[in-house]
Structure 1
Amino acid sequence: MKRLLTALLLLLPLATIAHEESKDHYDRVNLSASATGRVDNDTIVATLYAQAEGSQAAALADEVNKRINWGVQQLKKYQKIKVQTQSYNTYPIYTKSNITGWRVRQSFRMESQDMALVSNLLGDLQSKLALENVSFSVSPEQRNSAENTLIEEALAAFETRAKLIAKSLGRSNYVIAKINVNTSGGNHYPQPHAMMRMSSMSESVAAPQMQAGESSLTVNVSGEIEVE
């Protein structure tokens, strides 16, 4: 009798735990929602380069250096423009497996939110440099502002779906067990420009036509809810 009582006492906590687990049981559902918006591109990025070909590598390097230095100095006059020099390359030119000359090339990148200023400067810079590409993007400040609005919209859409799921399952309530927020979009794509021989550049070129366009930003919200 004493052994039977001990066994029953040992089983009692297990039965209590099982009852509590049954009472607190939730069905888990994974769901997602998103919000997308279009934002005006407010930043322009242009890449220009100097290139020279000939038989004397040192003379070619000197020519390229002078053109790049000239371009960088022109842009340093403007606080609204960021300038960054990029790759510097010297390539051999082959004819029937023999080196018959050299090609020297260097480029720099300019970035600004003053698109009218950049457009006008590009016309002047192309008198000695070649325009490789132009691209447009959304500035970090404008992106953050737009994403904050989209986050609110995506979370509201997530909540609407969660309520719909709970109601459709005939449940009275739900709780969010896990949630993730991710942003994407806003990529900018270069607009290529035809390469021009450096020797043909001696006069100022008309300013290129610029259309910044828009970027698409998306906020994705995914997570897991527990419905009672």
Structure 2
Amino acid sequence: MTFSRFCLLLICVFSMNAHAFETNQRNENRVSFSVTESAYFNNDQVTLTFRAYSQDLNPQVVANEINTQMQAAYAVLKRAPQIKVETSDYQIQPIYDKNQALTTWRGQQTLTLNMENQPGLVKIMAQIQPYLRYQNMEFGVSSAQRQLFIDDLTRKALDTFQKKAQLIAQGFQTQVYKIIETNIQSPHFPSPYLARNMMASDAVGNAPVMQAGQSQLSVTINGTLLLPN
């Protein structure tokens, strides 16, 4: 076979393949769709924030009072080693009047507690109240539980996705279809449920009110079907 005939043969083959591809494209229909599985889960984790605060003309007095408050709170927390404790925002700063004259010193330090939402822990929280000022309380789903919930929702979403693909194909009066594209969206994690002003006053000395509530998690799958016309 001469070189010119070989080139002519290649051109004919490519032309036939291109024609077949265009024919297949005309005889197929693309359908995009999505499914979402959502569920509410009990919040199993709570984060509480307290603040040590002091104000005095002497900055050393401010520092000593803050340290004393934090040490007293730590003594209470030693009874509950399962609680994760974190301190932050330690600061002591001067306060001036409108004439830029020093009037007092003010200091504070934040104490953050992370724990599982279990009965009995509220009593420990109430014991911290005489030493630190309550700031806020946040409820959410722990990382370990959240991953289990997401895996379960993903399995359900995949099952729903397959069933919907079959339903769409049946709607087009065919049992033949091909899933050519799939995208599983990363779940959106809702912000923790924030509860403010739910702590009883120091004078009353009652235990704090803890209402965990629920969080909603969702998994969405987008896909495209290839159906014959």
TM over 0.5: yes
Measured after TM superposition, the shift of residue 60 of structure 1 is 0.1
For the residues of structure 2 that align with 1:50 and 1:204, how far apart are their CA atoms? 19
Q: Which moved more, 1:180-189 or 1:38-47?
A: 180-189
1:224 aligns with 2:224: yes
Task: Show the counterpart of 1:15.
Answer: 15
Aligned-residue identity in percent: 28
3-state SS, counterpart of residue 120 of structure 2? helix
Q: Which moved more, 1:99-108 or 1:115-124?
A: 115-124
**What's the TM-score, normalizing by structure 2?**
0.84
Deviations 1:163-221 (A, max 9, x none): 2332333444222222222212343132122899xxx96x7821012111111111111
CA gap 1:194/1:59 in 2 versus in 1, 3 angstroms: farther
Task: Show the counterpart of 2:215.
Answer: 215
Q: Which moved more, 1:9-18 or 1:119-128?
A: 9-18
Task: Show the counterpart of 1:160.
Answer: 163
Deviations 1:67-89 (A, max 9, x none): 11221232133222111112112
Equivalent residue letter for 2:159: A
**What's the TM-score, normalizing by structure 1?**
0.85
For the residues of structure 1 that align with 2:7 and 2:82, how far apart are their CA atoms? 83
Q: Which moved more, 1:31-40 or 1:68-77?
A: 68-77
Task: Show the counterpart of 1:44.
Answer: 46
CA gap 1:157/1:97 in 2 versus in 1, 3 angstroms: farther
Measured after TM superposition, the shift of residue 119 of structure 1 is 0.8
> Do the aligned partners of 2:30 and 2:225 also contact (CA within 8 Å) in 1?
yes
> Do the aligned partners of 2:35 and 2:160 also contact (CA within 8 Å) in 1?
yes
> Do the aligned partners of 2:53 and 2:66 also contact (CA within 8 Å) in 1?
yes
> Do the aligned partners of 2:88 and 2:111 also contact (CA within 8 Å) in 1?
yes
The total of aligned residue pairs comes to 223
> Do the aligned partners of 1:124 and 1:204 also contact (CA within 8 Å) in 2?
no
3-state SS, counterpart of residue 119 of structure 2? helix
Task: Show the counterpart of 1:60.
Answer: 62
CA gap 1:179/1:97 in 2 versus in 1, 3 angstroms: farther
> Do the aligned partners of 2:198 and 2:208 also contact (CA within 8 Å) in 1?
no
Q: 1:112 aligns with which of 104, 111, 115?
A: 115
Measured after TM superposition, the shift of residue 11 of structure 1 is 3.0
Task: Show the counterpart of 1:190.
Answer: 194
After superposition, residues 84-103 of structure 1 pair within 5 angstroms as 84-98=86-100, 99-103=102-106
For the residues of structure 2 that align with 1:180 and 1:144, how far apart are their CA atoms? 19
> Do the aligned partners of 2:166 and 2:175 also contact (CA within 8 Å) in 1?
no
For the residues of structure 2 that align with 1:70 and 1:177, how far apart are their CA atoms? 63
3-state SS, counterpart of residue 60 of structure 1? helix
Cα RMSD for the two superposed structures: 2.8
Q: Which moved more, 1:210-219 or 1:92-101?
A: 92-101
Measured after TM superposition, the shift of residue 16 of structure 1 is 2.4
3-state SS, counterpart of residue 66 of structure 1? helix
Deviations 1:71-110 (A, max 9, x none): 1232133222111112112233221142311210001111
For the residues of structure 2 that align with 1:5 and 1:147, how far apart are their CA atoms? 61
> Do the aligned partners of 1:132 and 1:194 also contact (CA within 8 Å) in 2?
no
> Do the aligned partners of 1:38 and 1:215 also contact (CA within 8 Å) in 2?
yes
Task: Show the counterpart of 2:125.
Answer: 122
For the residues of structure 1 that align with 2:99 and 2:163, how far apart are their CA atoms? 69
